[in-house]
Amino acid sequence: MKINRFIQVTIFSIILSFYSCGGEIKIDAYDNYLSDNYKNYEGIRASFIDSLKQWKKDSLMSVSMVFFDDSWQVDSVLLFNRDSSRFYTTLNMSRKHNKGLSSELIKGITGAKINNKWSFVFEESRYISRKGYKTDIYSAMSFEELSYISHTGAMSRFLKVDKGGQYFIDYNEMDNYFFKAFGTLYPNIDKIDSVLLKRIAAYKKKKIDIKMIERVKAKRLNSVRPDEPETSNKSWWGRLFGKEEVGLFETEAWKNRRKE
């Protein structure tokens, strides 16, 4: 009985800490980084967008997730390593065309400068549940909301804030991400670059069937929004205390995120 009581208290504490930590909205570091750096790399970002459009036009399997022009956006923040030979950003996808979904997709992107030319490689995928961010889980997130999740999640390991509130890029962490993971198999930069170029070449060999694209489009456009979850499906926290759940993007903190 004492053990069960301990477990209950522990679970309660974990959930309480989860609910109490959502009030702080951190956007200053990324706003400052954009204002200081965007003009220096907007041409590289535009080049990546052009590549995506061309890969889509060529029906490459690697961009099969990008079927609708208005449902994806390359994040405005590109984070570069120390010698500007690599950058990291995300492709943010608002899955609004499939009305039955309750999640979004954020895909990591690496830019690699090889032989004085930028090449682009897809990295990890993150499915982001709308629960906790929006009360209406069948309503798609905006690109600003998706960017916030990208910045405070995937990018936060690289762009950090010091004790004085100033942002800085953790170059050691970027080196770990870009190079040291290859260290044992590919001990020098030329071999790492070769691996990346082979991966990019492989993208162009795998095409998705045009008929499949059309089927996916039709399925998404004909999707139906599910009924709202019943009250009985709410968390025990909501049933116990009867408090209306408010998503992060519906809070006053989010609405006032850029106010002093």
Q: CA 255 → CA 25, 75, 203, distances in Å?
A: 10, 21, 41
pLDDT of res. 235: 62
Identify the residue with better confidence: 20 or 68: 68
Backbone angles phi, psi at 244, to 5 degrees: -70, 130
Q: What is the pLDDT of residue 236?
A: 60
Residue 200 scores a pLDDT above 80? yes
Among the ranges given (6-10, 56-60, 123-127, 147-151), the one the predictor scored with the smallest mean pLDDT: 6-10
CB distance 97 to 145 below 8 Å: no
User: Average pLDDT of the chain?
Assistant: 84
In terms of average pLDDT, the best of 40-54, 178-192, 226-240 is: 40-54
Q: Report the residue count for the chain.
A: 260
Q: Report pLDDT for 65.
A: 75
Whether 143 has a pLDDT exceeding 90, the answer reads: yes
CA separation for the pair 232, 255 (Å, rounded): 30
CA distance 113 to 193: 9
| pLDDT at position 174 over 80 | yes
Whole-number Å distance between alpha carbons of 259 and 252: 11
Contacts of 185 (CB under 8 A, 6+ apart): none
Strands 159-161 vs 86-93: parallel, antiparallel or unpaired: unpaired
For residue 153, what pLDDT is reported? Answer: 93
Percent of the chain surpassing pLDDT 90: 56
d(CA 55, CA 96): 22
Confidence (pLDDT) at 72: 93
pLDDT at 229: 64
- 192, burial (CB in 10 Å: exposed 0-12, middle 13-18, buried 19+): buried
State yes or no: pLDDT of 227 exceeds 90.
Answer: no
pLDDT exceeds 50 at position 4: no
Tokens 């061309």 identify what position? 54
